[in-house]
A and B are shown apart, each in its own frame.
Chain A
Amino acid sequence: MKSLIAIILLMSSSISTVLSQDAVPSYALPKTRSAELKIGAGKLQPQLLAFDFNYQKNLTKHFSLISFSQIDISAWDRNPYKIYLVTNYFFFIQSFGIGASVGAKRFNTGLSLLAGGRFYHSKAMVNEIHEPELVTNRILPELGLLYNLKIGKQKYYFSTQIYLPLSPFSAASIEKNITLSVGIGYKIK
């Protein structure tokens, strides 16, 4: 619920900022740069809040380089399916990639292929057992697809994205934690 309120607040502030600005050049200019800040949640693990930062630099009209950072943290530590347990997660993903996009003035939508790494941390706790804490720390290679939608003609614009990790859970699509995020972007030019 808290995460939903946070998302709604962020969306409303993004939209109001977008509506109160002067027009700037289109998304599809070579060498246009943009930075985006977003908040979202996971599909498989809805208790995970995602915070995203993207930096994008156009190479041509329709191709760009992108840096993608995401931090996932547990919004609450009680899993409703496992009340006996307490579990906390923290993931940090840093990836770089290349993307293709369409749309110039009012909107821009694109798909990027990203590769990088993930720091995976988790802590599970159960009372009254021999080892009541289990901590996992791993650094893993990361491969993912990022779908991004930018809306707005101004310097600040509304942006939303879906990140689909292709690894480390490559063998079982059901375990991929797809995140949906919304936020605000800024054209640096």
Chain B
Amino acid sequence: MKKRICWFLPLIIFLASCKKDEPFDATLIEKIMVQSIYTGSTYPVYIVLPENYSAGNKYETLYSLDGDDDLNGIKIYEQIGWACKQASKAKNKQNVIVIAIGSLGQDERFRDYSPVPNLGKPTGVGGGSENYAKFITSELIPKIQQEYLVDTSSAGRIIVGHSLGGTFTGFMFTKHPDVFANYLTLSPAFYWGDGTILEYENENRAKNSSRKSLVYVSCGEFEEGIRILAKEWQYRLKTYYPNCTTDFHMVSTAGHISSAKESINKSINFYFSNK
């Protein structure tokens, strides 16, 4: 009998250590469809409301790109909603409304998130970021402000993007800094278009450098091409943007996909710690 217990004990300990994050309450999630005249597409948008969402409050809004992508069996909007709930509780701050913009397909993703057509493979795709930015600023944000109890200042808006979505957050920081004041830039693909975002940063530095923003940058240890440019981004933020509060996190022994979950959780913690 003792021998059997000795065999089963490590198994029980192992299974106990495999604890999953608690499931997210589905009743807090609403799905709407938003049509854009700028991009010509209709996007699924998932709204994750905070618990005890009620009149009399003004909630900050967190806009997520790739919002309905799957992350090891959990949707991005669920992961973000869960992380916001945990962080807001831990920091004793009011939770946010998550606005997760769903994906349409790979072609539309390249079109919307990339500011210029790519020079590497896939060649020539992209270049629709300006229209996508117009969709967010002129169509989605006004709709959300009309239908939900939200803080309408840019300080009350956060954008989070991973990979090419991270490139788009860099695009908004450099080209449309009035829309969001908080940027969670996760594994940004700044190599896209031969480093276009870094060029935009350089071109717009003089007029943007006094802005007050929260910027979080993260990536996996084994995504070297992304890491070298994420570090450059962090260096420029620290050097040229004195009013920016910024942090950089490298997820140890992780690649592009395996770093995403930890990056999301850490970035949201960063936001709630510094807002």
* 8 A Cβ contacts from A63-88 to B: 79-85, 87
B146 interface residue, CB < 8 Å from A? no
Chain A nearest CB from B72 CB (Å) reads 7
B173-199 interface code vs A (CB 8 A; 1 in, 0 out): 000000000000000000100110010
Q: Which of A10-18, A96-104, A127-135, A178-186 contacts B (4 or more CB under 8 A)?
A: A127-135
Chain A nearest CB from B183 CB (Å) reads 20
A124-B228 in contact (CB<8A): yes
B120 interface residue, CB < 8 Å from A? yes
B227-A169 in contact (CB<8A): no
Residues of A within 8 A of B258 (CB): 169, 171-172, 175
Residue from the set B119, B120, B261 with the largest chain A CB neighbour count within 10 Å: B120
Known: A80-B120, A129-B198, A169-B258. A138 touches B253 (CB 8 A): yes
B257-A172 in contact (CB<8A): yes
B228-A83 in contact (CB<8A): no
Known: A80-B120, A85-B225, A130-B235. A169 touches B195 (CB 8 A): no
A126 interface residue, CB < 8 Å from B? yes
Residue ID in chain B nearest A123 by CB atoms? B224
A24 interface residue, CB < 8 Å from B? no
A152-176 interface code vs B (CB 8 A; 1 in, 0 out): 0000000000000000110110110
Chain A nearest CB from B21 CB (Å) reads 14
Chain B nearest CB from A92 CB (Å) reads 16
Report the bound CA distance from A136 to B222 in whole Å: 8
Residues of B within 8 A of A140 (CB): 253
Known: A83-B194, A129-B228, A131-B228. A172 touches B120 (CB 8 A): no
A122 interface residue, CB < 8 Å from B? yes
Report the bound CA distance from A83 to B192 in whole Å: 9
A126-B120 in contact (CB<8A): no
A171-B254 in contact (CB<8A): yes
- Kindly identify which residue among B191, B221, B256 contacts A85, using a CB–CB cutoff of 8 Å: B191
A174-B257 in contact (CB<8A): yes
A175-B120 in contact (CB<8A): no
Known: A80-B120, A124-B228, A136-B221. A131 touches B255 (CB 8 A): no
Report the bound CA distance from A122 to B195 in whole Å: 21
Residues of B within 8 A of A134 (CB): 224, 227-228, 231
Known: A126-B232, A172-B257. A81 touches B121 (CB 8 A): yes
Known: A131-B235, A172-B257, A174-B257. A82 touches B224 (CB 8 A): no
B257-A122 in contact (CB<8A): no
Residue ID in chain B nearest A177 by CB atoms? B255
Report the bound CA distance from A123 to B257 in whole Å: 20
B120-A124 in contact (CB<8A): no
Residue from the set A79, A81, A125, A172 with the largest chain B CB neighbour count within 10 Å: A172
* 8 A Cβ contacts from B227-258 to A: 227-229, 231-232, 235-236, 253-258
18 contacts across the A-B interface (CB closer than 8 A): A79-B120, A82-B120, A83-B194, A87-B224, A122-B222, A126-B228, A126-B232, A129-B228, A131-B231, A133-B228, A136-B222, A168-B222, A169-B222, A169-B255, A172-B72, A172-B258, A175-B257, A175-B258
Q: A79-B225, A81-B121, A85-B225 are in contact. List 18 more A-B contacts (CB 8 A).
A: A80-B120, A82-B120, A82-B191, A84-B119, A120-B222, A123-B224, A124-B225, A124-B227, A126-B191, A129-B232, A130-B235, A131-B235, A133-B228, A134-B228, A136-B224, A169-B222, A171-B258, A172-B257
